[in-house]
Structure 1
Amino acid sequence: MKITNPTILEAQEKMTKAEQALQRELGNIRAGRANASLLNRITVEYYGAPTPLNQMAQISVPEARVLMVTPYDKTSLNDIEHALMASDLGIAPMNDGSAIRLVIPQLTEERRKELAKQVKSVSENGKIAVRNVRRDMMDSLKKAQKNGDLTEDELRDLEDQAQKVTDASIKNIDAITAEKEKEVLEG
């Protein structure tokens, strides 16, 4: 289905952004596996300025449950270690003098279920964002019809297209959520 209406194209773009935001948000949920995105929101005080950790160091995953942070500037190692300790990660960094290792602990079954609920909650927020975009799009289309820019038949066709775009986005969100839930529950 080729979409040409600018209102629907704009809404589709916003829905895609909502899906991407959901993926970023879910990336911050620790699933018992090492994932470099866990450190995305960590900032380090570097020469007096808060600097994102991923701009100061290489973050790698040498083993399934180990994150290795190798700073580009070795003098920043202690600053990075302090930032990791001060963060809400709940993982003690191990400094070996040239890199920092973060060993992600195995999750308990209870914690996995809590995280699965959190994933569902974040997912529902993503769906709400998509539905809000759909509502705004429908309002805009109805306003255009009221102003005489669209006939009733055109409005109906565009509303069908809008619903198809919304359904596709919700389906994507469900797929993203199912993948993350599987990751969390299997560890």
Structure 2
Amino acid sequence: MAMDSDEILLDTEERMEKATEVFRNSLQGLRTGRASPGLVDSVRVNYYGSPTPLKQVANISCPEPQQIVIRPFDQGILNDIIKAIQASDAGLAPNSDGRLIRINVPPLSTERRREMTTRIGKFAEEARVAIRNVRRDANKTAETSEKEKLMSEDDLKGLKDQVQELTKKYEGKVNDYARDKEKDIMEG
């Protein structure tokens, strides 16, 4: 489909932003050595037959650096929350007193920290590939637009340069987020 330069740039930036956001969200679920609601808030709980993010059915807090407390809005789903946390890949052991759930977040072992940084690297590479795929799509669309005389050859070259700038910008964001999370994990 042919588009003009502005449409292509806007679409490209939106899609690169989305890929970066998906990456950021995947990092929030990764454990550092400290308790954080982000470790469990996206765990999906079976709530009246529908998988619902934990943060929508419970209050999640971290009263201490090594502890998460989950207070369900509806006591009836306490066991469903426990099952969902146990089934998640967070590697956390929930304890309940019948009213609320406490999770002690043990410090990460050196081996676990290495595993986590490897996962971050994998997630980051997936995000960079997604960004490069957006670049490829943008360049294809631009070439189609140039063939259909919606832009000149010079415009096409300028647009490809701008798309490359966006690619560098979003790959840089991904690299920054990855580096910050790795630092958190190694120091946490």
Task: Please list every run of at least 4 consecutive aligned residues from structure 1 whose deviation after the TM superposition is greater than 4 angstroms.
Answer: none
- The residue type equivalent to 2:81 in the other structure is I
Offset of residue 56 of structure 1:
1.1
1:60 match:
61
What residue is the counterpart of 1:176 in the other structure? 177
Distance in 2 between the 1:140 and 1:104 partners?
48
Following the alignment from structure 2 to structure 1, what is the Cα–Cα distance between the partners of residues 80 and 104? 19
Indicate how the Cα distance of structure 1 residues 173 and 47 shifts in structure 2: closer, same or farther if over 3 A, else same: closer
Q: Indicate the residue corresponding to 1:124 in structure 2.
A: 125
Aligned pair in 2 of structure 1 residues 66, 141: CA closer, same or farther (>3 Å)?
same
RMSD: 1.6
Cα 1:49–1:20 change in 2 (3 A) is: closer
> Secondary structure at 2:17's aligned position in 1?
helix
Which residue is 2:7 aligned to? 6
Q: Which moved more, 1:96-105 or 1:37-46?
A: 37-46
Letter in 2 for 1:9: L
**What fraction of aligned residue pairs are identical, expressed as a percent?**
38
Show structure 2 runs of 5+ residues with no match: none
**Corresponding position of 2:116:** 115
Letter in structure 1 aligned against 2:187: E
Q: Write the distance in 1 (CA, Å) between the matches of 2:169 and 2:50.
A: 42
Which structure ranks higher in relative contact order (CA pairs < 8 Å, sequence separation ≥ 6)? 2
Cα deviation, residue 103, structure 1: 0.8
Corresponding position of 1:87: 88
Distance in 2 (CA, whole Å) between partners of 1:9 and 1:51 is 32
TM-score (norm 1): 0.91
Query: CA shift at 1:122, angstroms?
Result: 0.5
Q: Quote how far apart the aligned CAs of 1:76 are.
A: 2.5
Q: Distance in 2 between matches of 1:22 and 1:39?
A: 17
Displacement, 1:48? Answer: 4.0
Q: How many residues are matched?
A: 184
Q: After superposition, where does 1:1-187 map in structure 2 within 5 Å?
A: 5-187=6-188
Q: Is the 8 A contact 2:58 2:73 kept in 1?
A: yes
Q: Distance in 1 between matches of 2:100 and 2:46?
A: 17
Return the letter of the residue paired with 2:114.
K
Rounded to whole Å, the distance in 2 between the matches of 1:121 and 1:86 is: 22
Change in Cα spacing, 1:141 to 1:56, as seen in structure 2 (3 Å) is same
Uncovered stretches (5+) of structure 1, i.e. residues with no partner: none
Tell which deviates more after alignment, 68-77 or 8-17.
Answer: 68-77
